[in-house]
Structure formats: C-alpha cells, structure tokens
Amino acid sequence: MKDRITPPVLEELDVKECLRLISPGGIGRVGFNTPNGPTVLPVNYTMHGRAVVFRTAFGGPMDEDLSTGVKGVEFKIAFEVDHIDTATREGWSVLIQGAAHRISSEEELTAVSTSAVQPWAGGERRLYIRVDPVQLTGRRIRH
C-alpha cells in the first residue's frame, strides 16, 4: 500500500497571530518604489507597540527614495517577515503595508532608541523609520 502524501494547507492568519509571529523582531524586507523601479532591501527590525522600527543610513537608498520632501506626506511601503522550514516545507509570512515615517522629533527618537534594534550592516545607521500598519496580513503553510 502506498503512503499517502498529505496535501499542504494554506491558512490565513489573523492580525493577533501576525503580531505574535513578528513580535520578537529579527530580519524583514522593505519593499518600495524608486525612480529605477521596485526595490526590496533586507533590514533588522524590532517592534515598538504595533509598529515596525528599523534603522538605516542617512544618504542611503531608503533615505533618498523614501523622502517626499513634504512635511506630513509619507510614501506607502511594504514590509515582509517570514519563516521557512525547507525540511518540512512549512512556513509563514506576514505582510505589513503602511507609511514609512521618518522619526525625527526628540520625543520619538527617545522612545524608539530604547527598542534595541541593531543593524548588522556596518557604518552609522542613525535614520530611524517606523511603519504603522494600515494593512496587516499573513499566511501559513502546514502539512
């Protein structure tokens, strides 16, 4: 008798489960449009309440391409975090969509600087960016 292979199950995750999965922080990917087309960059992130916070360098691609030059007007970006187990062919992904808010006030900087997000890339990363979720979705594949 042949072994039956259980087909994978794709399940939608609710907001609470999405937040639970990404709450430890780690590595995520920032997706945004640039003059040269869509760009996706990896970053170290942490959570500050329901918001994602990451650091980057002034003068880098996210500094230039995520700046509208108009106070109060912010670009909408995508932020994705996932976990994949190739051995079991299971995993999950969480997608956050929201505005890329450049943290500049002393009050905000003080609040997020205690979040302990430490970029792996060398050099100074003093530009803090916060993404407040407008839409938060997730999926999980199980066998």
Provide the whole-model pTM.
Answer: 0.85
Inside any domain, residue 19: yes
Could you give the number of structural domains in the chain? 1
Band of the pLDDT at 122, cuts 50, 70, 90? low
Inside any domain, residue 3: no
DSSP β-bridge partners for residue 47 = 52
Inside any domain, residue 116: yes
Inside any domain, residue 101: yes
Domain containing 85: what range? 9-142
Hey, which bits of 7-59 come out as E strands? 9-13, 26-34, 37-48, 51-56
d(CA 42, CA 28): 6
Inside any domain, residue 117: yes
Query: How far, in Å, are 19, 78, 90, 92, 113 from residue 137 at the CA level?
Result: 10, 11, 18, 11, 27
pLDDT digits 0-9 by tens, 9-65: 999 999 999 999 999 999 999 999 988 899 999 999 989 889 999 988 888 878 777
CATH number of the domain encompassing residue 67: 2.30.110.10
The residue assigned the tokens 């709450």 is 23
Inside any domain, residue 1: no
